[in-house]
Amino acid sequence: MTIIDSQVHAYEANTPERPWHSVPNWPDHVTGAEMVAAMDKVGVDGAIFISAFSMYRYDASYAVEVQRAHPGRFGIVKPVDPDDPAVADVVAEWKKTPGAVGVRIMLTKEPHRDRDPADQRFVAPIYSHSPATESDQAARNLAGSTGNR
């Protein structure tokens, strides 16, 4: 059986060449090579690599670099800003990226936003591709896990 980890984050150390936006309470680095070694150690064949938003914001270039260095090991996901006027173009470009498997719509509360990140208008389209019963259940699960209805 193929084992796929459904969410990993890898990142370089905080340097002037690749500065972090914020410094979370995480290890100083978990590089792509370190992640592959950890996966190999426990028998994980591949992973969905979510670019670390808290560190890199909407820049998924490190995820792209890691995927290129380890082809076949990672599907990569880029955070996108739904309020970016060019979000459709960003997604269209991302779809062309080798190894890209999805986007993560960031409903964050930021100074330039005039809406609450819990605004449910942005939840329904995420599930619109699913059959109605799965969509309804997924929306209920999400609402229950976030405390929003």
The fraction of the chain above a pLDDT of 90, given in percent, is 62
- Tens of pLDDT, residue by residue over 39-67, are 999 999 999 999 999 999 999 999 999 99
Domains of the chain listed by start with CATH number: 4-109 (3.20.20.140), 118-149 (no CATH)
Chain-centre distance for alpha carbon 71: 18
Q: What is the pTM of this model?
A: 0.74
Q: Phi then psi for 21, rounded to 5 degrees? A: -70, -40
